[in-house]
Amino acid sequence: MKKPVIFILLIVLFIGLFTGCKTSQLEEGAVTDVAVEGEDTPEQQEDEILASKPAETPEEEETPSEETPKEEEKPSAETPKAEQSTPKEETPVQAVPSPEEALANLYESGSAGSVLGINGKNTKAADYNVSKMVTVKAGDTVTFGPAPSAQVVQGYAFDAAGKPLQLINASVLKEEATFAYGMKIYTYTVPADAAGIKMNVHSGVKSDFVIARNHPFDLKGYQTLTGKSSEFIDDVLRDKNALFVGDSICYGSQDTAGGIRGWAQRIAADTGLNAVNNGRSGASVSDVREVTNRGGTVLTKLMEKKSQDFEYVVLHGGVNDAWDSVEVGEMEESFDPAYFNTSTFAGGLETLIYNAIVTYGDIAAIGYLINFKAPNCTNGRISDMTAYNEVAKKICDKWGITYFDMYNHQEITRELAFTTNTHTKDFIHPLPSGYDVLSPYIADYMRTMTPCSEEILIKLGV
């Protein structure tokens, strides 16, 4: 009985061991199949599941993804525009013209009959006016002129509240150019906190005055601003030397425009001519004023400059001769000055022209100005100078020089309105506005002047 039982137990044990081994092999085979077909191990699958939950993954919270820095390093195309526009608004205005600011004359006449003092406040001054405020900011440049160099207060800078901030005088100015008659063009650099400037302008140059912001200019630029640039640059008178001699009208006795200017210095400013005004109040063409010691002769003023060379010599006179009712006289046939009667107007004029040709005629064009009408002037024969003027024309023709007849010039007569004292003080002496009328006409005449003829020069041994 024992042997069969033992045998049965052995068989059962063997079957159990065999069955357990097969089950283990089947399980191992299943795991192997999954690994081959899916490529990812169970551990990798678990990592993928975790990666799909970024909010729960500590690595993603602590370490930015690879795409995040790329977005920060490559800003959008609109970002630079925003960044560039900001400094444009905040950058201070530089001392150069902006594309929006055109070259223009900003001067406007303001307070007439007053001048800015060294404290920046207005005081009375009949010959000046204070310009209107010109808006500026720190770093701007303000160029202005014509301005007299001796003027202590050229202007003043004011802050935004209108309080005086800085005196504008020689110590803060840069000189840009000098006009032939001595006045200057200056540039001023606007200091911090300044919001506006005002300038002192002499009444005689207010029609010529220029203020330009952020456009420094020289003499050529001045002409551009005043509308005469091409004429100024190409003018036949530019850089030429001219001598003007005559009486008080030539001299400019009633021209208080920042110093005596007359027509000589106005022409210089308009054309670039180098002018010498050697007129003298009281001078006569005849020797009547020399004899009576009341101004001498125009001849004396002519010969004072004989050591200098001039391309133009412009003679003027006759008014004081008419004032004193000097004899008109007659033109001589001879060219010998020994025959000229200098106590008469005619003899004095021939002597004057003779000396002008002998002294300057080898290089200079010489001309004579016949004075304008003054019908309301009651001194001597000034109200009617026809006889003096007619003999003057004949004498000029004899000597081969040109003349400019202002007496019979209809436009001059109309513009000067000498039946009133609009442009004269006493119906004969021009005010600054009178010289403003006359000067362009005389400049036009000078452009037509020609050198003396060879015939005359040979005849006089020049």
Q: What are phi and psi of 255, to 5 degrees?
A: -100, 100
For 213: left if phi > 0, alpha if psi spans -120 to 50, otherwise beta; the answer is beta
**Nearest to 199, CA basis, from 159, 161, 164, 153:** 153
How much is the average pLDDT of 11-30? 49
Residue type, 104: A
How much is the average pLDDT of 78-88? 43
What percentage of the chain reaches a pLDDT higher than 90?
A: 54
Say whether 170 sits in a helix, a strand or coil: helix
* Structure confidence at residue 76 as a pLDDT band (50, 70, 90): very low
How much is the average pLDDT of 198-204? 84
Is residue 282 scored above 80 in pLDDT?
yes
Lowest mean pLDDT among 149-158, 383-392, 404-413: 149-158
Q: How far is CA 377 from CA 118, 174, 427, in A?
A: 43, 47, 5
* Structure confidence at residue 102 as a pLDDT band (50, 70, 90): confident
Residue-wise pLDDT for 234-257, tens only, equals 578 888 999 999 999 999 999 976
* Structure confidence at residue 350 as a pLDDT band (50, 70, 90): very high
Which pLDDT score is estimated for 143?
96
- Domain positions in the chain are 109-225, 235-460
Which pLDDT score is estimated for 9?
59
Rounded to the nearest angstrom, the gap between the alpha carbon of residue 3 and the centroid of all alpha carbons in its chain is: 139
Q: Are 286 and 323 in contact (CB under 8 A)?
A: no
Pairing relation of β-strands 155-158 and 164-168? antiparallel
pTM: 0.55
Dihedral over Cα of 413, 416, 421, 427: its sign: negative
Kindly indicate whether the domain formed by 235-460 is annotated with CATH number 1.10.4080.10: no
Is residue 299 scored above 90 in pLDDT?
yes
How much is the average pLDDT of 304-314? 96
The crossing angle, in degrees rounded to 10, of helices 432-446 and 262-271 is 60
More confident residue, 167 or 27: 167
Best-predicted range by mean pLDDT (81-90, 395-404, 431-440) = 395-404
Is residue 229 scored above 70 in pLDDT?
no
* Structure confidence at residue 84 as a pLDDT band (50, 70, 90): very low
Say whether 12 sits in a helix, a strand or coil: helix
How much is the average pLDDT of 407-429? 90
What is the rounded distance in angstroms from the CA atom of residue 381 to the CA atom of residue 387? 10
How much is the average pLDDT of 377-396? 97
DSSP, residue by residue, 205-259: GTTT-EEEES----HHHHHHHTT-HHHHHH-TTTT-EEEEE-SHHHHTTT--SSS
C-alpha torsion angle, residues 225, 432, 438, 428 (rounded to 10): 180
Q: Are 184 and 177 in contact (CB under 8 A)?
A: yes
Is residue 28 scored above 50 in pLDDT?
no
Residue type, 374: A
Q: Are 163 and 206 in contact (CB under 8 A)?
A: no
Q: Are 171 and 149 in contact (CB under 8 A)?
A: no
Average pLDDT, the chain: 81
* Structure confidence at residue 202 as a pLDDT band (50, 70, 90): confident
Is residue 109 scored above 60 in pLDDT?
yes
Q: Are 456 and 397 in contact (CB under 8 A)?
A: no
What is the rounded distance in angstroms from the CA atom of residue 355 to the CA atom of residue 306? 10
Is residue 304 scored above 90 in pLDDT?
yes
Q: Are 141 and 190 in contact (CB under 8 A)?
A: yes
Rounded to the nearest 5 percent, the helix, strand and coil shares of the chain are 40, 20, 40
String of b and e for 323-350 (b: at least 16 CB within 10 Å)?
bbebebbebbeeeebeebbbebbbbbbb
Q: How far is CA 154 from CA 92, 101, 116, 146, in A?
A: 26, 24, 8, 11
Which pLDDT score is estimated for 317?
97
What is the rounded distance in angstroms from the CA atom of residue 178 to the CA atom of residue 118? 24
Which pLDDT score is estimated for 156?
97
Rounded to the nearest angstrom, the gap between the alpha carbon of residue 10 and the centroid of all alpha carbons in its chain is: 128
* Structure confidence at residue 82 as a pLDDT band (50, 70, 90): very low
Is residue 271 scored above 50 in pLDDT?
yes
For 259: left if phi > 0, alpha if psi spans -120 to 50, otherwise beta; the answer is left
How much is the average pLDDT of 358-371? 96
How much is the average pLDDT of 417-435? 89
Q: How far is CA 151 from CA 21, 118, 145, 174, in A?
A: 124, 11, 12, 15
Which pLDDT score is estimated for 169?
93
Residue-wise pLDDT for 44-61, tens only, equals 444 444 444 444 444 444
Helix (H) or strand (E) holding 321: helix 319-323
Is residue 133 scored above 80 in pLDDT?
yes
